[in-house]
Structure 1
Amino acid sequence: MKNKILLYLVVFMALISLYLFVSGGKMSKAKDARITSLRSEVEHLQDSLKNTQLRVLEMQYFSLENNDDALVYYDHLSLENPSSYIRDKLLETNESNGTNPLVPYEGMEGDFKINKIEVLNHKWILADFSDGKYWGELLIGYELKDDLGVDFTLIDHLLYARSN
């Protein structure tokens, strides 16, 4: 009787060991597949990140912050960030009553105000304006004087046709 119990116990333990061995192998294969999948996803994300970084660098090509030749014009001034200073001065023109004086259109749904600004170099600014419904863009020339005054001159403009 003792021998039969011992035999059943050994067979039962062997079956449990076999089950654990097989399921462990399957788990290992599943984990390896998951690791491979995650590695390929990480590689894809790294490629996407590199592409995005290249696009950002490409977009920043025409900006005062990345144009050392244009920044030389402001070396004699005590400005830490000339681009930000010029943006602030341009946004101050929005504070006048009515449409911004640099926008050559009358607002249709309200007053046209400048929203977004990109200082391209030491002479030009690209700006977006809107009245909430209609919008357009401006090419503005500017001159930053030694007394930190800024003169703005409208070079060109466009107003987009509103589509329904």
Structure 2
Amino acid sequence: MYLFIFAVLAIIFQYTNDKRILDKYEKDIKTYKVKVAELEDERVKLNDKIYDLSYFNIEGNEEALTYFEDQGINTEELLPKLKDGLLEMNAYQGVDHPIIPYASMTESKIIIDQIKVLNHKWILANFTDGKHWGELFINYEVNEEGKLSYKLTDYFLYPIN
């Protein structure tokens, strides 16, 4: 009789313990499924944002790339050359930058720090002197010899608050 009662108590203990463990695992699985669904939604939103941000970019603009290919220009060499040409202007002597129409208002030089090639004709660039900053809208052209020429079309200096 004692053996039977002990066996029943052991079975009840084992059942409740296993049930508690299974319930905990099921709760954890539900929590992780919710987290996975949230992360999947976030991934989709980020992919949409990446698509939107890459819209005005020469790498995603097939017409602009075709324009250069039709002229026999290798875009893989041209794009770094475009950016390097603007960044080399940062090594200017004196006060006036070759393309930025503002002089530095601090001790440091005014320089171009970020460049985005939009298509086969336009570039957006950001400039700063460490305290003041603004943006440039630049037209560029590649001649038959592969030489680059830049023309400042518009510019803006942000006011300091």
Q: 1:79 Cα deviation (Å)?
A: 4.0
Residue identity opposite 1:87 in structure 2 = K
Task: State how far apart, in whole Å, the 2-side matches of 1:133 and 1:46 are.
Answer: 40
Task: State how far apart, in whole Å, the 1-side matches of 2:20 and 2:130 are.
Answer: 60
TM-score by structure 2 length? Answer: 0.90
Residue 115 (structure 2) pairs with residue 122 (structure 1): no
Distance 1:12 1:126, change over 3 A: same
Q: 1:73 Cα deviation (Å)?
A: 2.1
Tell me the residue number matched to 1:137.
135
Residue 28 (structure 2) pairs with residue 34 (structure 1): yes
Task: State how far apart, in whole Å, the 2-side matches of 1:36 and 1:99 are.
Answer: 63
Tell me the residue number matched to 2:98.
101
Q: 1:14 Cα deviation (Å)?
A: 2.3
Residue of structure 1 aligned with 2:81, choices 85, 92, 105: 85
Which blocks of at least 5 consecutive residues in structure 2 are unaligned?
Answer: none
Task: State how far apart, in whole Å, the 1-side matches of 2:46 and 2:75 are.
Answer: 31
Please give the secondary structure, in 2, of the residue aligned with 1:115.
Answer: strand
Tell me the residue number matched to 1:147.
145
Distance 1:79 1:70, change over 3 A: closer
Residue identity opposite 1:83 in structure 2 = L
Tell me the residue number matched to 1:157.
155
CA contact (8 A) 1:99 1:113 kept: no
Distance 1:67 1:146, change over 3 A: same
TM-score by structure 1 length? Answer: 0.89
Identity of aligned pairs, percent?
32
Which blocks of at least 5 consecutive residues in structure 1 are unaligned?
Answer: 1-6
Aligned residues: 157
